[in-house]
Structure 1
Amino acid sequence: MLQSFKMAIKSIWGNKMRSFLTMLGIIIGVASVIILVSLVNGQMTYMTEQFASMGTNQINVNVSNLSSRSVTVDEMYDFYEDNQGLFSQMTPKVSISATIKSGTETLTDTTVTGVSEQYLEMKDQTLDTGRFLQYSDILSRQKVCVAGYYVAWDLFGGVDKAIGQTLKIDGTSYQIVGVISRQDEDNMEAGGTDDVLYLPYTSAVRQTKNANVSNYVFATADMDHTTESKTAITMFLMGIFKDDDLFRVSAMSELLDSLNSMMSMMSMMLGGIAGISLLVAGVGVMNIMLVSVTERTREIGIRKALGAQKRNIMQQFVIEAAVTSSLGGVIGIVVGSIATTVIGSFMGLDATPTPGAVLISFSVSVGIGLIFGYMPASRAAKLNPIDALRSE
């Protein structure tokens, strides 16, 4: 075995260019599998983090209130109070499309949302300075708001400078009582996660001149009981609306599971497509090994004449094919790992070579060497020693 391995290395080294071209297909195939799978996994990690920042323990409820059938905020709070074992927080959510002004400065991409005093804890965010909304603000419909980091800097030139300042939301004045800590450490831009404004949902309802609140967010007390919590909300709303087309209940954790399942399928599909190039590379290995057998027919005849068994000849050529594809696999892993890091950095993803992709692609490359090297090795082993010695 050791002697066959040494002879394989000597043969590969003796035909450097041909060996490299044979390995090239393996290198490209292995590198492609690693790059594609790792980038998809990097994207999956990024999207998972984005969903986590939105709250994987949250359930979003959207209702279509009718004049004959509707649910009020008080009824939703009564339901929440009756199911404290399932839910830890709840807030009505009123979205406003508005223009923000302060002096001559104007913001048009700011996300303005009416929420309850529990919203900050639900989003797992912290305050940079000041305070968040309080129950008294909700009860008395105070004209106060909590600004995002971008709003404070863009309109007032700093976080501390924003506290106590007044801005106008579609002409209605609100006083800033707090500023949320910076959420995006890399980018702070219009329409981003720091370009937000929170005000009491009661004030937001008055601002929109709509008496009905149609969106609510629940935070589950236990992630393991998400399905049970979702069912409880569904049954409660069904009792009011009598029609499941009039409301929608969606759990963030279920959306995340669906996303992960879809991304995993995509990763396997792209890995399979890249793996086709490994099969093509296997054909290349087989062709080169057949050429090698033809070139070394006389050598095979001499070895057989000196007593070499059929299995010795077969072992030599199979090992040579396996070593060729294995070296190609190793080089492919190095190339794929470097390319993954570079491409991931360029795309802004934390993409690292996936151990599973590395192991599978290398195993496939070795397997290809063994499988596609078998036929040429078998042909060499079956050569008649006399005919082999007479070949030129």
Structure 2
Amino acid sequence: MGIIENIKLAINSLFANKMRSVLTMLGIIIGIGSVIAIVTVGDSLASSITSEMSGVGARNIHLGLEQKDFGTEDEEVVYEYYEIQEKDYITNDMIDNYKEMFKKDISAISLVEDVGSNKLTNGKNKAEVSIKGINKDYFNVEKINILQGRFINDDDIVNTRYVAVVSDKFVDKYFGGKFTYEEVLGQSFEITLENNIIRIYISGVYEYVKNDGEVSFNSNGEELTNLFITISTAKKILKKPEGYMNATILPSTEADIDSLLLNTNQFFGSFYNRNSKVTAMAYSMESMMKSVNKMLDSVKLAISGVAAISLLVGGIGVMNIMMVSITERTKEIGIRKALGARGKVILLQFIIEAVIICLIGGIIGILTGMGLGTIITTILGKAVKPNVQAIFYAVTFSMAIGVFFGYYPASKAAKMNPIDALRYE
């Protein structure tokens, strides 16, 4: 008897006992469906995290000062708070030397001085903004799109000019829609900072994008748009010394992030070897992203492993039902052996039947898992295609279960004595 005939016999047997067949497949369906759904949701979360981190500059390297001072008391580590002083700041000379040493790997270095929020009034019109002092590289690092005018440049910073780049949202609110973005260039407004009234002139208008750069909120929880002035003006207004507590580095497209990150830590760390209180540390979202994805893969694998236990239960169910089927068909087996059917033929018949059960259950499980995965990832807002590799493994595994758990009952059937089988009632 050929394989085609065995497949037909297996399918006829399944249809002859529909409810029993469905219950037998249930463990396989649940196991495979769960694994595929879990893998799909895990892929969705990983894709979402990658997308979010890429949106905030995953390749960017963030450099900042951190306290390293700590002492011990009664064998417990007690961290002593230390306020970072002017002498600890990252200086312009450090940054210039760093740029020169790694110029092939660096596209830009963004420097920011947070001034605070301010509510500006123009008659009945009001606009609340977050004011930031920045250097010219800030716009490249944060990928801000200018609509009209120009960005802040080096001359503005050197000469401490009172110029600002404002958002289109600010223009619409502050000027009440009376002027175009081109018409507001050169116009001025007053802000009160550190008890001083300062007149600022608009040099450019940028496109507001939700969550652009560093985000600030007002007391009502509304996101404020950024108003950018020169970093030298910000330091003058705040009466802050030269130097910086942090910086953001935009690597060149050819740069190896891991290598540049290591070099950055070594370069800036060398300036703080003799500083017992403070050190400079650099990190990148890309390295964090790799760690998060690795952790998600581990969680996915662990949960999938738990879900796959139901496949073992399903396999035992297949073996049990095959034993029952063989018992019911003892006379049929006896007749076939009496007519000359060899043990190998009987063995193949029942193994194929077990594989068919698991294969059909696997296909239903795959469709169920794909459906659940699609629904859940759509609800999460990041729908992804089902993992093809997971589907391949699921089908292969379901067939392997059929062979493994179908072999013992099939072997038992193949070894039956035809005389004993014909006498069986």
In structure 1, how many angstroms separate the alpha carbons of the residues matched to 2:176 and 2:370?
A: 44
In the other structure, the counterpart of 1:261 is 294
Aligned-partner Cα distance in 2 for 1:2–1:332: 24
Change in Cα spacing, 1:207 to 1:254, as seen in structure 2 (3 Å) is farther
2:89, 2:245 within 8 Å by CA — same for their partners in 1?
no
Cα distance in 1 for partners of 2:165, 2:256 equals 32
Deviations, residues 144-170 of structure 1 (Å, cap 9, x unaligned): 443456656666667946865747576
Change (3 A) 1:41 1:223: farther
Shift of 1:105: 4.4
Query: Is the 8 Å Cα contact of residues 301 and 385 (structure 1) preserved in structure 2?
Result: yes
Is residue 343 from structure 1 mapped to residue 369 from structure 2 by the alignment?
no
Structure 2 residue aligned with 1:352: 385
In structure 2, the CA distance between the partners of 1:314 and 1:138, relative to structure 1 (3 Å rule), is: same
Give, in whole Å, the separation in 2 of the partners of 1:129 and 1:346: 39
Describe the superposition over 1:186-238 as per-residue Cα deviations: whole angstroms up to 9, x where unpaired: xxx96799844443223333455432420111122245433443343333323
Correspondence 1:140 to 2:142: no
Paired residue secondary structure (1:217): strand
The amino acid of 2:109's aligned partner reads M
Which of 261, 268, 275 matches 1:237?
268
Structure with the bigger percentage of helix? 1
Q: Which residue of 2 aligns with 1:317?
A: 350
Q: Which runs of 5+ in 1 are unaligned?
A: none
Give the structure 2 partner of residue 4 of structure 1: 6
What is the one-letter code of the residue matched to 1:238? G
- TM-fit CA distance, 1:320: 0.7
Whole-Å separation in 2 of the counterparts to 1:169 and 1:316: 89
Distance verdict in 2 for CA 1:142–1:272, change over 3 Å? farther
Relative to the length of structure 1, the TM-score reads 0.86
Instruction: Answer yes or no: is 1:205 the counterpart of 2:235.
Output: yes
| Matching of residues 75-86 of structure 1 within 5 Å | 75-86=94-105
Verify: 1:385 aligned to 2:411, yes or no: no
Q: Secondary structure at the match of 1:246?
A: strand
Bigger radius of gyration among the two: 2
Counterpart secondary structure, 2:291: helix
The one-letter code of the counterpart of 2:36 is I
Whether 1:52 aligns to 2:54 is: yes
Please say if residues 148 and 194 of structure 1, whose CA atoms lie closer than 8 Å, have aligned partners that are also in contact: no
Does the C-alpha gap of structure 1 residues 327 and 81 become closer, same or farther in structure 2, counting only changes over 3 Å?
same
The answer for unaligned runs of 5 or more in structure 2 is 67-83
Report 1:120-269 matches (<5 A). Answer: 120-148=139-167, 160=180, 164=187, 166=189, 168=191, 174=200, 176-181=202-207, 183=209, 195-211=225-241, 212-242=243-273, 246-269=279-302
Match of 1:62, SS? strand
More strand by share: 2
Alpha-carbon separation, structure 2, partners of 1:34 and 1:150: 45
Q: How much has 1:351 moved relative to structure 2?
A: 2.0
Sequence identity (%):
31
Q: When the two structures are superposed, what TM-score results if normalisation uses the length of structure 2?
A: 0.80
Shift in alpha-carbon separation, 1:243–1:9, aligned structure 2, 3 A:
farther
**What amino acid does structure 2 have at the position aligned with 1:89?**
A
Q: Which moved more, 1:320-329 or 1:335-344?
A: 335-344
Q: Which residue number corresponds to residue 32 of structure 1?
A: 34
> Conserved in 2, the CA contact under 8 Å of 1:325 and 1:369?
yes
Q: Distance in 2 between matches of 1:30 and 1:157?
A: 59
The answer to whether the Cα contact below 8 Å between 1:150 and 1:194 also exists between their aligned partners in 2 is no
Q: How many angstroms apart in 1 are the aligned matches of 2:224 and 2:148?
A: 14
